[in-house]
Structure 1
Amino acid sequence: MRKLLVPVFSAVLLVSCGTAKTASDVSSSQNSAVKGDKAFVSAYKEIKAADLKKNLYVIASDEMEGRDTGSPGQKRAGEYMVNYYKNLGISFPKALGSYYQKVPSDFMKKRGGSNLPDSENILAFIEGSEKPEEIVVVSAHYDHVGTKNGVVYNGADDDGSGTVAVMEIAKAFQAAKKSGKGPKKSVLFLHVTGEEHGLFGSEYYTDNPVFPLANTVVDLNIDMIGRDDPENRGKQYVYVIGSEMLSSQLKLINEAANKRTNNLELNYKYDDPNDPQRLYYRSDHYNFAKNNVPVAFFFDGIHEDYHKPTDDVEKIDYDLLAKRTQLVFATAWEIANRPDRIIVDKK
């Protein structure tokens, strides 16, 4: 996740949902795509702590040299991810022509990216069976801060955890597709670069979308979900940020998905407009939100190893990482399979 510097975005007031509906109301009254769905249960079980751990031990290894934007180490991590998708039989968007969307150095320099080299977003794609033009985005940044004074900052939580979560969610959707129960809407698995330097990869994507933003239903963004913070030590929780900023339905859908699955404690502390951390503006979902695409940002908090060389794979809580990943999958599944797209009824 990007460090908090001098605020650069104008404040936007976070408002609470102006409805008396509950999560159970959404589940029952809007024909939940998950309820009683054997295909969902089978796909959901594909998300496993051991597989998340296996991939994270590669993505956040010393070999990747901290995955700084455009670095050889980041490119090696990207190659591993692309081969993972190829092995699963998950392709790239046809319009893109490959898994890579180039993010030019000049683009980043104009936005304060100093001497960053060219880099790439990585996109994998499962086309919807009924409404392929409607796009559900599941995103995470795969860059970190590199190597400093010969010490590798592995970024296992930030955002290795989100990176492998997106990969695992893709595997679950692909398993459903192979069984003849693929998503009705299309799902884009978007790994963005340059987040740590200024949300550059997600900004480039939203400035140059492969699929029209008008057809983009939601962005579920995952940035740090493998640890706990001192305030929640030992709890089964996750912070959810921004889920009711643009849509009165998204928060309720996520809450219903949570109740049907691991029933984590959903913490909305950072939805407070007065919170000094300004987390709504500090990860890649914001570039979708400012283009009027509903978002939910899943996050574990600021812990003692944030942006330090001690953010290592040995400190990840893999069981909790799996539960949070399953929650994002359940939310994505519901949105991708419900008859209608979620509404945008807030500004």
Structure 2
Amino acid sequence: MKKYFFFLLLLVNAVSDELTVTYFAETISIANLQSNLTFLASDSLRGRLTGSKEQKIAAAFIAKHFQEHGLEAIVSGDTTNSYFQPFYIKQYFGKQHSVMLNPTDKMRRAKSVIATENVMGFLEGTDKKEEVLVISAHYDHIGTKNGIVFNGADDDGSGTVAMMEMARVFSEAKKQGRGPRRSILFIAFAGEEFGLLGSEYYVAKPVVPLKNTVCDLNIDMIGRIDNAYLDKKEYIFLIGSDKISQELHALSEHNNELYTKLTLDYSYNSESHPQQLYYRSDHYNFAKNHIPIIFYFDGEHPDYHQPTDDVDKIDFGLLRKRAQLVFYTAWDIANREGTLK
């Protein structure tokens, strides 16, 4: 009889956990995604080129969102903590750039140097708070060319607003007494379009030790439909989930099967794929440090790096569902008993 009640209790707890995570996942809002993306991918932000005043307006917008929803500023400053992690980029002739890890004041003032910042919001966990899950997206784009604005609604406005909305929902869960066991660090990277430079700087100068970072879920383009899926849009490309942790891959598959039921396409995960996308977004700087990652990606479309990558072409229902997959996976990682192996 005791064994029966023990298993019954486990079943009740499992059902309760599923109902809880589903409740919060359902609060991911199309209206919020649309409102935030309409601002970030507007002509007034002129393509959010790293180092531009418009990129800094976008950074302030993201930081304000973190602050309004109760996330902590975690970057140490002279007198107080900040949501901004400043860094500097050296610009060479042509399109070559490199991150400056230890610039002097004189080096920072050089005309060829670009000043920019990552934006971070921190949600402290409960009993496993020293372990940290990172949820990331890059908020920069490629600016303007010949006076034409490249708004980057999908690349990577879509990932940025999904990350922002998850920050809001996880924070609300914590306010309702269902905060994550592990801490979560939400990062909007700058400098991705110059060569993954914001994430390169972060892993060199992390605000929490890399040894405490259990995973990076990186979202880079999740608002559009690949040409191969025009007739069946309920899909997402996953890259890197099995490279470092088989448990992460299995966990991701399980949560999709249980909740979102998207087609998970691993085509770009192949080592022989000509695009080599595993090496081409911010997750890779975590992977180089042996931290498990998943890169979420919607595929190829004709508006990639074109001035036609606009908000009116985003499928917000699909963006929401893909964000929910990331949320379910993040919830599981943040609350499971053991770390990923």
Range of TM-score over shorter length: 0.7 to 0.9
Question: Contact 2:122–2:184 (CA<8 Å) still a contact in 1?
Answer: yes
Matching residue's letter, 1:66: G
Question: Contact 2:237–2:297 (CA<8 Å) still a contact in 1?
Answer: yes
The reply to whether residue 36 of structure 1 matches residue 20 of structure 2 is no
The two structures have a TM-score, normalised by structure 1, of: 0.86
The whole-number CA distance in structure 2 between the counterparts of 1:42 and 1:93 is 29
Give the one of 155, 168, 173 matched to 1:171: 168
Q: Which residue of 2 aligns with 1:183?
A: 180
Q: Which residue of 2 aligns with 1:99?
A: 83
Q: Which residue of 1 aligns with 2:62?
A: 81
| Residue 95 of structure 1: how far off its partner (Å) | 4.3
Q: Which residue of 2 aligns with 1:151?
A: 148
Give the one of 49, 53, 56 matched to 2:37: 56
CA deviation digits over 1:211-256, x for unaligned, max 9?
A: 1111100000000000011111142000000000000101110111
Residues 103/236 of structure 1: CA separation in 2 closer, same or farther (3 Å cut): same
Residues 82/211 of structure 1: CA separation in 2 closer, same or farther (3 Å cut): same
| Residue 109 of structure 1: how far off its partner (Å) | 6.1
Question: Contact 1:34–1:333 (CA<8 Å) still a contact in 2?
Answer: no
Question: Contact 2:75–2:83 (CA<8 Å) still a contact in 1?
Answer: no
Question: Contact 1:109–1:116 (CA<8 Å) still a contact in 2?
Answer: no
Gaps of 5+ in 1: 1-29
CA deviation digits over 1:304-323, x for unaligned, max 9?
A: 10000000000000000000
Q: Which residue of 1 aligns with 2:327?
A: 329
The whole-number CA distance in structure 1 between the counterparts of 2:141 and 2:274 is 23
The whole-number CA distance in structure 2 between the counterparts of 1:340 and 1:34 is 17
Look up the SS of the partner of 1:135 in the other structure. strand
The structure 1 segments of at least 4 consecutive aligned residues displaced by more than 3 Å after TM superposition are: 33-36, 108-112
Look up the SS of the partner of 1:261 in the other structure. helix
Name the count of aligned residue pairs: 312
CA deviation digits over 1:130-170, x for unaligned, max 9?
A: 11110000000000000110000000000000000000111
CA-atom RMSD, angstroms? 1.9
The whole-number CA distance in structure 1 between the counterparts of 2:271 and 2:195 is 21
CA deviation digits over 1:162-220, x for unaligned, max 9?
A: 00000011111011100011000000001000001100000000011111111100000
Q: Which residue of 2 aligns with 1:216?
A: 213
The reply to whether residue 267 of structure 1 matches residue 251 of structure 2 is no
Larger Cα-atom Rg:
2
Look up the SS of the partner of 2:97 in the other structure. coil
The whole-number CA distance in structure 2 between the counterparts of 1:35 and 1:146 is 48
Q: 1:263-342 to 2 correspondence within 5 Å?
A: 263-342=261-340
Question: Contact 1:42–1:176 (CA<8 Å) still a contact in 2?
Answer: no
Question: Contact 2:75–2:207 (CA<8 Å) still a contact in 1?
Answer: no
Matching residue's letter, 2:194: H
Matching residue's letter, 2:133: V
Look up the SS of the partner of 2:273 in the other structure. coil
Q: Which residue of 2 aligns with 1:197?
A: 194
Gaps of 5+ in 2: 1-9, 99-111
Question: Contact 1:136–1:218 (CA<8 Å) still a contact in 2?
Answer: yes
Residues 140/116 of structure 1: CA separation in 2 closer, same or farther (3 Å cut): farther
Look up the SS of the partner of 2:318 in the other structure. helix
| Residue 94 of structure 1: how far off its partner (Å) | 6.0
Structure number with higher relative contact order (C-alpha < 8 Å, ≥ 6 residues apart): 1
Look up the SS of the partner of 1:162 in the other structure. helix
The whole-number CA distance in structure 2 between the counterparts of 1:70 and 1:329 is 30
Matching residue's letter, 1:99: Y
The whole-number CA distance in structure 2 between the counterparts of 1:76 and 1:65 is 11
Question: Contact 1:39–1:176 (CA<8 Å) still a contact in 2?
Answer: no
The whole-number CA distance in structure 2 between the counterparts of 1:113 and 1:34 is 49
Matching residue's letter, 2:307: P
CA deviation digits over 1:286-329, x for unaligned, max 9?
A: 00000000000000001110000000000000000000000001
Look up the SS of the partner of 1:221 in the other structure. strand
Q: Which residue of 1 aligns with 2:103?
A: none
CA deviation digits over 1:51-100, x for unaligned, max 9?
A: 11111001111111100001111111111111111111222226462000
Question: Contact 2:242–2:249 (CA<8 Å) still a contact in 1?
Answer: yes
Report which stretch shifted further, 91-100 or 141-150: 91-100
The reply to whether residue 90 of structure 1 matches residue 71 of structure 2 is yes
Residues 262/310 of structure 1: CA separation in 2 closer, same or farther (3 Å cut): same
Residues 35/211 of structure 1: CA separation in 2 closer, same or farther (3 Å cut): farther
Question: Contact 2:214–2:292 (CA<8 Å) still a contact in 1?
Answer: yes
